[in-house]
Structure 1
Amino acid sequence: MIRQTDFFLEGDRRGVLLIHGLTGTPTEMRMLGKGLNRAGFTVHGMQLAGHCGDAEDLLATDWRDWYASVERAADALRAKVDHLFVGGLSMGALLALKLAAERPDDIAGVGVYGATFRYDGWSIPWKARLSFVLPLIKRLGIARERMFIEQPPYGLRDERLRAQVSAAMNSGDSTLAGLPGNPWHSLADLRRLSKEVRRQLGDVVAPCLVAHASEDDVASVRNARLVIRRVSAPAQLLLLDDSYHMITIDRQRRTLIDHSVRFFNTIAPARRATALAG
């Protein structure tokens, strides 16, 4: 059964929509969200369709459902703010870029965190790199129950946090740290989404902060450089040398928060409170 785990942090008229990754949860965006909120931003850490339940809940959805849930969340937040930013981690970064490409008049800036167009990090086994066959497997309707089980280091350089996340993933409660693996059919949809977003990168005209771990275990820096190279917008590259894939919660999360706050502030500065005359 799917449980609702999204969060909303009230701030000023500048909003940030945060999008978690495939099989993840809004929890992986919460520390970033709190940091942005302390800087004045209104933040919604959304929950993607089909997530925070079991594998069957996820398999009942595809990438179009995930993106549709992003659009609904963006519409709701846009109604509350004057400036709307969007940021996403891993697959969430692809969904954020797609939103920016399709809604250039609505999105003021994009946080592209650990973008994953391809699983090509140093910890990915060779079998998992054969993902190009997964769309065919899904079309044939076979291997629906199969999944790639997550392996250490789980995107985390911080060993203490890694142990906590590992325990949470294997607890049976997917709201804590997501599912323990990625269903093959869901990975097939990620590949379709990746292909779609690659085609749309040139339509992204909102400024982008592209943050990536220099030793990303899941998705190499080539993913970040693809974004820098293809978007039509000004893009800043932030490489983090003491984190792995989950940069929103790993060792340099405060660095990521600080850079995100500064980046969004340069686009939409906080308004100074006007003192009332006595």
Structure 2
Amino acid sequence: MSILPGAEPLSADGSRTGVLVCHGFTGSPSSMRGIAEHCAQSGWTVRMPRLPGHGTTWQDLNQRTWHEWHAEVAAAFLELRDRCDDVILVGLSMGGSLMTLLAEEYGEQVAGLVLINPAYRMTDWRLKALPVLKHLTPSIAAIGDDIKKPGVREGAYPRTPLRALHSATELWAKVTRDLPQVTQPVLLLHSRVDHVVDPSNAELLLSRISSHAVREVVLENSFHVATLDHDADLILNELTAFIAHVSDREDVSE
């Protein structure tokens, strides 16, 4: 199956500091390419996989499950772990969910966790009907391209596949249950206004993780896909400082 332009994964070898970058649900590596390229230009070893079913068609995604997405990022993490002294995880939206799951699973093997508008639950009451609705209709209106900056698109799917979305909710439930297992330094960047992931997700994360070194940055001028929005440079600056600190084993909290 052909890959959409801009949805290609990225791999760059550099220092013994590794950075794993992950995009969100119905999106593709295009939403995180700026971060991955910046990390590569900073001299770090970078892996940015394309999650199965993403960057192709929404019908393709509807045949996939969270287990496949997890397997993809876990394989990339294990490669980085074997070649690097420190591995930092960076995720947007559902990519944040997947990175959080790796942090829960691999503990001290993860040096730090950078989360950008991470998703752990959806507040839309209609999601309660997903187990039935997914059998009645294959998709609903798109949830992508929530960007404040005029004229910018992330290239997300025009439809939201319901079988895949239901699988994502199963991922969120598992990750949320095990949030106390997160002990690594955390950089949380979340938008004041987000039309996809409710800000209560940030509150949930902060209330349940066991990390002592936590930095929270509120993005005042971006919507959900903040990596392509007005606060993109702020995100890069915060991420660069965070990675420099945790790779030196310094405290990042204020």
Distance (whole Å) between structure 1 residues aligned to residue 92 and residue 115 of structure 2: 7
Deviation at 1:196, TM superposition (A): 0.6
Give the residue type in structure 1 aligned to 2:141: F
Q: How high is the sequence identity, in percent, across the aligned residues?
A: 28
Structure 1 residue 227 corresponds to structure 2 residue 209: no
Structure 1 residue 132 corresponds to structure 2 residue 128: yes
Give the residue type in structure 1 aligned to 2:142: I
Which residue does 1:70 correspond to in 2?
73
Give the residue type in structure 1 aligned to 2:199: V
TM-superposition CA deviations, 1:205-234 (whole Å, max 9, x none): 111111101111211221111111111113
Structure 1 residue 193 corresponds to structure 2 residue 196: no
Structure 1 residue 111 corresponds to structure 2 residue 114: yes
Q: When the two structures are aligned, how many residues end up with a matched partner?
A: 245
User: Once superposed, what is the RMSD of the aligned Cα atoms?
Assistant: 1.8
Q: Which has the higher contact order (CA 8 A, sep 6+)?
A: 1
Which residue does 1:157 correspond to in 2?
148
Unpaired runs of 5+ in structure 2?
Answer: 250-254
Which residue does 1:53 correspond to in 2?
56
Residues 146 and 224 in structure 2, CA contact (< 8 A), matched pair in contact too: yes
Residues 17 and 85 in structure 1, CA contact (< 8 A), matched pair in contact too: yes
Which residue does 2:97 correspond to in 1?
94
Q: CA 1:88–1:14 in structure 2 vs 1: closer, same or farther (change >3 Å)?
A: same
Secondary structure at the aligned position of 2:217 is classed as strand
Distance (whole Å) between structure 2 residues aligned to residue 199 and residue 118 of structure 1: 11
Deviation at 1:104, TM superposition (A): 0.5
Distance (whole Å) between structure 2 residues aligned to residue 106 and residue 2 of structure 1: 35
Residues 213 and 245 in structure 1, CA contact (< 8 A), matched pair in contact too: yes
Q: CA 1:135–1:208 in structure 2 vs 1: closer, same or farther (change >3 Å)?
A: farther
Distance (whole Å) between structure 1 residues aligned to residue 97 and residue 193 of structure 2: 20
Which residue does 2:219 correspond to in 1?
240
Secondary structure at the aligned position of 1:226 is classed as helix
Structure 1 residue 218 corresponds to structure 2 residue 196: yes
Secondary structure at the aligned position of 2:193 is classed as coil
Secondary structure at the aligned position of 2:90 is classed as strand
Distance (whole Å) between structure 2 residues aligned to residue 149 and residue 266 of structure 1: 38
Give the residue type in structure 1 aligned to 2:221: D
Distance (whole Å) between structure 1 residues aligned to residue 220 and residue 165 of structure 2: 27
Which residue does 2:9 correspond to in 1?
6
TM-superposition CA deviations, 1:170-194 (whole Å, max 9, x none): xxxxxxx231121111111111111
Residues 62 and 162 in structure 2, CA contact (< 8 A), matched pair in contact too: no
TM-superposition CA deviations, 1:137-172 (whole Å, max 9, x none): 44xxx1252223347xx210101214xx4xxxxxxx
Equivalent in 239, 259, 277 of residue 238 of structure 2: 259
Residues 14 and 45 in structure 2, CA contact (< 8 A), matched pair in contact too: yes
Q: CA 1:2–1:74 in structure 2 vs 1: closer, same or farther (change >3 Å)?
A: farther
Q: What is the TM-score with the length of structure 2 in the denominator? A: 0.90
Residues 135 and 192 in structure 1, CA contact (< 8 A), matched pair in contact too: no
Unpaired runs of 5+ in structure 1?
Answer: 121-127, 166-176, 271-278
Distance (whole Å) between structure 2 residues aligned to residue 89 and residue 20 of structure 1: 5
